[in-house]
Structure 1
Amino acid sequence: MALRGGFWPLLLLWVSPGLCSKKVNPSEYDYVSFQPEMVRHYQTGRFYSRTPQCVDIPQDLALCHGVGYNKMVLPNLLDHESMVEVKYQASSWVPLLSKNCHPGTQVFLCSLFAPVCLDQPLYPCRWLCEEVRDACEPVMQYFGFPWPEMLRCEQFPREDVCIASPNATQAPRPRRSEVCPQCDGEIKADSLYEHMCASEFALKVSVREVKKDSGDRKLILKKKKALKKGPIQKKEWGDLVLYLKNGANCPCPQLEPLSGQFLVLGRKVKNQHILTAIHKWDKANREFNRFMRKVKKTKCPKPHSVFM
């Protein structure tokens, strides 16, 4: 039985080994805390060093804060035992939400990264996973990522009680244009800051030349300054090349013309430095200036030990 329709009220159920029993209103749900039954159900077949418990979804868990409920089970359904690990792993997915590849993306991801507090695990429906995967994997490939094994859809229930999204059967919102996904982001200070924090590196650059390389586009840089250097090694810095994956034939308005400077965000995948976003360095843009003020005043949350 998939939980559809008014999704979040229906989701807040106490699921017994037999059948769904008690309905819990969102206001009641805020007071759900540790339950002895939760230990038995969540530890079945799993070995955690910490007892499963309900905790607040922190504001800096950007992927799931404000998703529709306030508390989550830790350890989660991806076997992340600490909130530090959850934040670090979830941060990789924040940029995908802005691409609107499927309306059920956040519900699907948060059902695993920040599962709602019930007395037994409740997984996303297999069909929801398949729809999100089929819609979002092509976008992920622009960033150099395949659909990960940990989200393999075959592991999720087909007909049992499972999580669905109220909007998942709606068609994905149409893209504004057919530009490369890395180039289609409108500047909004808060979301750009979240994207920067989720990225491994953030640079201010000027571009000397853009070349096609198989199906990719690569940017040969003229000048560069690191806002966040991340995994870029000293020996790579001098001749740093950035790759626009699968970007050889899609337009990127920011790079037409090449004059001026750019803010580029990205991740290192194998030996390539992959762009996940590029924006004009535009001091006349109010949102860009808000973003820069935030960069100067606020530090991104830092994982202490761990990690798409």
Structure 2
Amino acid sequence: MSVLLSCHWNFVGIIITLSLGPSLPGRADDSTGEYYSWQYDNSHVRFNSKQTQCMDIPMDLRLCYNVGYQRMRLPNLLDHETLPEVRQQASSWVPLLAKRCHADTQLFLCSLFAPVCLDRPIYPCRSLCEAVRDSCAPVMESYGFPWPEMLKCDKFPIDNDLCITVQFSDPKNTPQPGPNNICPPCDNELKTDILRDQFCASDFVVKLKIKETTTENGDRKLLTRKRKKILKLGTLNKRELREMVIYLKNGSTCQCHQLDQHQNDFLIMGRKVAHKFILTFIHKWERKSMSLRSFKYFHCPSFHSTFQ
């Protein structure tokens, strides 16, 4: 038996196709707002009873505000119970959308971070998780992050259960990363919203000059000059920034045209991963479109990152 869940997705105008299996391990009681959520975990269904509420998706939840529906439920399907927690955890994923690693990335992530407000929770199908993971994990790895445990695909239901399926299976809609592509941290549009999203997802942001680049174990190694203008320090100290060496993950197998001319000033953003400074964003400093003052007005959530 099959059933169609009609949602007006603004960004593609799709209909989510759901497959209904012989049993539905979950129910809702709208009179009390209580539901029993279900998750797949090593082939075992796990039940949780929590009070739920429906609310409008706020404009500052940038990952999902334009996903195509207006109402979400809390707790969400990742057990985030408050909007401030959802905002912060979701903000770590916003830069991934700009990389367009898979056409269903927003659909998959928002089904978990901001699930549509229906009479029962609807999880993404395992096949949807696997499709997004296979396309986006290489991009995440270029930033020094593995696919997180909380999104392990075998936790999600198989396609003959009630779940959200893949919408874009056409390869032309999903660019595949390869050795001839531009390195993800080097492929950025200079737009205010992209700068803000990258700024908030980064541990450090600096304006600097690069002294030289070398390769090391397949990564590109950036030796920086000591003089830097700190725009965001995060949990790092000034001595770490002054002596930092930055790594572009897998940089020896992809293109980064910004590194062809070291005499330029660069806007550099990155994260500290396992005692290494990993490059997540690089762009030539553009005086006409960048100002040091503008970065002071970027307000970011203060919770811990999803990836830590």
Which TM-score bucket, shorter chain as reference? 0.7 to 0.9
Q: 1:2 to 1:192 in 2, by over 3 A?
A: farther
Spell out, residue by residue over 1:108-159, the C-alpha distance to the aligned partner (whole angstroms, 9 max, x if none). Answer: 0110011111121100011111111111111111111111111111111111
1:24-103 pair list within 5 angstroms? 35-36=30-31, 38-42=33-37, 45-46=47-48, 51-103=51-103
Secondary structure at the aligned position of 1:171 is classed as: helix
Spell out, residue by residue over 1:33-83, the C-alpha distance to the aligned partner (whole angstroms, 9 max, x if none). Answer: x933641334983265xx311122121211111111112111110111121
Spell out, residue by residue over 1:154-191, the C-alpha distance to the aligned partner (whole angstroms, 9 max, x if none). Answer: 11111111113533445334479712111111212222
Question: Which deviates more from structure 2 when the two are superposed, residues 187-196 or residues 251-260?
Answer: 187-196
Match of 1:143 in 2: 143
Aligned residues of 2:52 and 2:74 also touching (Cα < 8 A): yes
What is the one-letter code of the residue matched to 1:266? G
Aligned residues of 1:102 and 1:168 also touching (Cα < 8 A): no
2:3 and 2:263 map into 1 onto residues whose CA distance is: 52
Unaligned runs of 5+ in 1: 20-33
What is the one-letter code of the residue matched to 1:103? A
Secondary structure at the aligned position of 1:210 is classed as: strand
Match of 2:167 in 1: 166
Where do 4+ consecutive residues of structure 1 move more than 4 Å?
1-13, 291-294, 304-307
**Comparing both structures, which one devotes a greater share of its residues to helix?**
1
Aligned residues of 2:76 and 2:113 also touching (Cα < 8 A): yes
1:2 and 1:281 map into 2 onto residues whose CA distance is: 52
Match of 2:220 in 1: 217
1:1-308 pair list within 5 angstroms? 8=9, 10=15, 35-36=30-31, 38-42=33-37, 45-46=47-48, 51-158=51-158, 159-174=160-175, 178-222=181-225, 223-284=227-288, 288-289=289-290, 294-296=294-296, 298-303=297-302, 308=307
2:151 and 2:53 map into 1 onto residues whose CA distance is: 23
**Comparing both structures, which one devotes a greater share of its residues to strand?**
2
What is the one-letter code of the residue matched to 2:213? V
Aligned residues of 1:7 and 1:164 also touching (Cα < 8 A): no
Spell out, residue by residue over 1:192-215, the C-alpha distance to the aligned partner (whole angstroms, 9 max, x if none). Answer: 222212222211111111121111
Question: Which deviates more from structure 2 when the two are superposed, residues 142-151 or residues 234-243?
Answer: 234-243
1:102 and 1:4 map into 2 onto residues whose CA distance is: 22
Give the TM-score normalised by structure 2: 0.82
Match of 2:42 in 1: none
1:3 and 1:274 map into 2 onto residues whose CA distance is: 44
Deviation for aligned residue 1:96: 1.0
Secondary structure at the aligned position of 1:41 is classed as: strand
Question: Which deviates more from structure 2 when the two are superposed, residues 95-104 or residues 161-170?
Answer: 161-170
Q: 1:47 to 1:204 in 2, by over 3 A?
A: farther
Deviation for aligned residue 1:3: 5.5
- Cα RMSD after superposing both structures: 3.0
Aligned residues of 1:266 and 1:273 also touching (Cα < 8 A): yes
1:143 and 1:153 map into 2 onto residues whose CA distance is: 21
1:74 and 1:163 map into 2 onto residues whose CA distance is: 19
Q: 1:306 to 1:134 in 2, by over 3 A?
A: closer
Give the TM-score normalised by structure 1: 0.82
Secondary structure at the aligned position of 1:147 is classed as: coil
2:167 and 2:254 map into 1 onto residues whose CA distance is: 32
Aligned residues of 1:4 and 1:164 also touching (Cα < 8 A): no
Aligned residues of 1:52 and 1:75 also touching (Cα < 8 A): yes
Q: 1:95 to 1:136 in 2, by over 3 A?
A: same
How many equivalent residue pairs? 285
Secondary structure at the aligned position of 1:178 is classed as: coil
Q: 1:106 to 1:183 in 2, by over 3 A?
A: same
1:2 and 1:260 map into 2 onto residues whose CA distance is: 57
Unaligned runs of 5+ in 2: 39-45
Aligned residues of 1:53 and 1:73 also touching (Cα < 8 A): yes
What is the one-letter code of the residue matched to 1:56? D
